[in-house]
């Protein structure tokens, strides 16, 4: 089981992404903006961060750059999950250190596949 930090300022997005993460058998942690996400990353050291971009205080690009450049958190993969779907946004996000970029709206399969591709299959074994 992986510990996955979801950073999004939309309560409905947080809830929807959390449902998918937990359905995959992972533990979901949440933060409501970029600054809270950076602080949670340092405190919790999750296995993966799913980061929105358009947020107050610190946007997702800034938060990703902070996380991926900090020696204490740079090992944590960040996936940007955002409505920003321009090629320049994708390129900029990857230059900030993101490992993947997923645009909203996404399907449950797309998010699940992105999580598995990024951290591997860390779901608990099925009960016999």
The pLDDT tens digits of the residues spanning 86-111 come to 999 999 999 999 999 999 999 999 99
The model carries a pTM of 0.93
Burial of 54 (C-beta count, 10 Å sphere; 0-12/13-18/19+): middle
Q: Considering the chain, what is the average pLDDT of its residues?
A: 93
Burial of 76 (C-beta count, 10 Å sphere; 0-12/13-18/19+): buried
Q: For residue 128, is pLDDT > 70?
A: no
* Predicted local confidence at residue 120, as pLDDT: 81
pLDDT band, residue 122 (cuts 50/70/90): low
β-sheet with 27-31: strand ranges across: 27-31, 3-7, 48-51, 78-82, 100-103
Domains of the chain: 3-119 (3.40.50.2300)
């Amino acid at each position: 089981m992986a510990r996955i930090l979801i950073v999004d300022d939309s309560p409905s997005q947080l809830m929807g992404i959390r449902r998918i993460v937990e359905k995959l058998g992972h533990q979901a942690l949440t933060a409501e903006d970029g600054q809270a996400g950076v602080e949670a990353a340092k405190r919790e050291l999750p296995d993966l961060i799913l980061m929105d971009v358009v947020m107050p205080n610190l946007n997702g690009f800034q938060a990703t750059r902070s996380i991926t450049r900090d020696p204490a958190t740079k090992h944590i993969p960040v996936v940007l999950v955002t409505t920003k779907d321009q090629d320049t946004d994708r390129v900029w996000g990857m230059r900030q250190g993101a490992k993947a970029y997923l645009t909203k709206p996404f399907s449950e399969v797309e998010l699940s596949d992105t999580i598995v591709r990024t951290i591997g299959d860390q779901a608990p074994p099925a009960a016999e």
